Amino acid sequence: MSILSDALALLEAMKGADWESQFELYSAALDRLPEGLILPAVQRLAGETWRPAPFEILREAARMEMARQAGTSSAFPSADEAYGEILHKIREFGANGRTPYPDRPNLRMAGAPPFSHPLVAATVMLIGGWEFLCSGEAGLSEGLSKQVKAVYDRQAAQWVDRAVSALCAGEAEGAARRYFPRGQPREPLPALSAPKGRPARIAGQERELRVRS
């Protein structure tokens, strides 16, 4: 059996709508992914009670690839981690968080400090900017916490969707340059592209699935 057919067999065994009516939909979705991500992404979601939707599998594959290329255990910090980082840096640096001279890290000026991930920096900007967060006007209320986390989660979802598009187009390295911390993966990685013409054998049926060139 091929990797694709193994993944489809796992999905068929899960609770959900009639498999025969969904086979082609799942086949087409999974066949857009790089071969090395198909089975791991499905296995990651196999513990769910119900069969995950095709877009959920694509998004999980994108998160896995983002984490792999960033050299981290997850694609990006959770909303709680991001909010905790923002609070920590507000308390540590206050409004003077910017370090304009790399060779003089102790010299700080007005502005935001560096963050662990671009998503955190983007959230700070969208909430109102570093100066606003450090001001008494913002406060560190429960309402602000919910707002920061909601903005962060929305930005993270958009990043994953853009990474899905890049991954399915065989542009994983392009996704790394655009969407990962530090702008580049830690070391050069081979370009990934969806292989073409993988045969899938499910329930005794031989089907040839091809990615549109």
Helices (H), 94-180: 118-127, 130-134, 142-168, 172-179
Q: What is the DSSP letter of 96?
A: B
Residue 51: give the domain boundaries. Answer: 3-74+187-209
Domain-embedded: residue 53? yes
Nearest CA-CA partner of 179 in 147, 194, 157: 157
Task: With beta carbons less than 8 A apart as the criterion, state whether 186 and 71 touch.
Answer: yes
Domain-embedded: residue 58? yes
Domain-embedded: residue 38? yes
97: helix, strand or coil: coil
Q: Give the number of domains in the chain.
A: 1
Site of tokens 């089907």: 207
Convert the pLDDT of each residue in 16-40 to its tens digit.
889 999 999 999 999 999 999 999 9
What is the distance in angstroms between the CA of the first residue and the CA of the last residue of the chain? 24
Domain-embedded: residue 25? yes
Domain-embedded: residue 132? no
Residue 141 has phi, psi (to 5 degrees) of -85, 170
The predicted pLDDT at position 99 comes to: 80
Domain-embedded: residue 12? yes
Domain-embedded: residue 180? no
Q: What does the pLDDT average to over 32-61?
A: 92
Convert the pLDDT of each residue in 103-113 to its tens digit.
887 788 888 99
Domain-embedded: residue 134? no
**pTM of the predicted model, to two decimals?**
0.72
